[in-house]
Amino acid sequence: MKFKYPDSRIVILCKAPIAGAVKTRLVPPLTHDEAVGFHVELATRVISMVQTSGLAPVRLWGTPNVTHPFFRRLVDLNVTATHLQEGADLGERMDVAITRSLGEPDVKSSILIGTDCINLDATYLEQAIESLTHAEACLGPAEDGGYGLIGLRRPESTVFEGMAWGTDSVCAETARAMNKCFENWQLLSLLWDVDRPEDLERYNNQTATGQNASCLPSTRELFQRAVASSSR
């Protein structure tokens, strides 16, 4: 494949779809099996979108193993190289993954994403890559206080260290670290994901108005049922 930004990399961190290990904050109103189904569809959408965008080579890092059938099926999306995440916490795993990609020959920038953000699309990814042509780093903040994308032009472990992962202070803490590490970095527009029960109704409303057109029909039905159940 010929890429628009061959000297960039898009790094994706993804969990294997194991019941009780993914989207647990949506249980209830979802069951663990339904949460797994949603994770699979959302991850497949994001990985497929990135791969077919033709923006940059993709590096997928899985956990807790890369032998799960889900990762093997990604061969159909031309994602043939899946790396096992390394590190004691999320920060270390992110640091290792993005540092490895920046160490590849002739790579000038790398962006790292997860698979949870509903409004993350190819346009957003390209804006992030373009921002790194003039900025040293970029950050895609999430509405819940975390972030859904981080981009770097050089390795910098400091932006991943000492963060209270899973809390609403992560983005602010990361921004403070970036202010210390970089003279010029770019804050991107807000992202959001369906990570809490209260997000379900918003997701369902956006789907009803066509704002989640890329969502698979089975996922739309799943969330419509969940919203109906939680409102009883």
Domains of the chain: 8-193 (3.90.550.10)
Q: What torsion do the CA atoms of 203, 17, 69, 63 make, to the nearest 10 degrees?
A: 120
Average pLDDT over residues 172-197: 93
Q: Give the pLDDT confidence score for residue 107 in this predicted structure.
A: 98
The model's confidence at residue 217, banded by pLDDT at 50, 70 and 90, is very low
In this prediction, residue 130 carries a pLDDT of: 98
Q: Is the pLDDT of residue 26 over 50?
A: yes
- Residues 87-94 have a mean pLDDT of 96
pLDDT average, residue stretch 100-122: 95
Query: What average pLDDT does the structure give for the chain?
Result: 87
Among 21-35, 95-109, 157-171, 196-210, name the one with the lowest average pLDDT.
196-210
DSSP helix/strand/coil, 11: strand
In angstroms, the Cα distances linking 7 to 110, 130, 151, 164 are: 9, 12, 13, 32
Provide the percentage of residues in the chain whose pLDDT is more than 90.
68
pLDDT at residue number 76? 72
Quick check: 111 and 135 in contact, CB under 8 A?
no
pLDDT value at 221 more than 60? no
Beta strand 137-141 pairing with 8-15: unpaired
Please, which residues have CB within 8 angstroms of residue 24's CB and are 6 or more apart in sequence?
A: 32, 35
Strands 109-113, 82-84: parallel, antiparallel or unpaired by DSSP? unpaired
Cβ atoms of residues 58 and 41 within 8 Å:
no
Q: What is the mean pLDDT of residues 8-14?
A: 97
Under a CB-based contact definition with an 8 Å cutoff, are residues 90 and 42 in contact?
no
Is the pLDDT score of 158 beyond 60?
yes
Q: Given CA atoms 11, 12, 16, 22 in this order, what sign does their dihedral have?
A: positive
By C-alpha distance, which of 65, 50, 63, 48 is closest to 8?
50
Residue 197: C-alpha distances to residues 20, 119, 215 (Å): 16, 18, 18
Give the pLDDT confidence score for residue 171 in this predicted structure.
95
Mean pLDDT of 63-88: 85
pLDDT, average across residues 104-128:
95
Token pair 């921004």 is found at: 175
Give the residues across from 97 on adjacent strands: none
pTM of the full predicted structure?
A: 0.88
Q: How many CB atoms lie within 10 A of CB 127?
A: 15
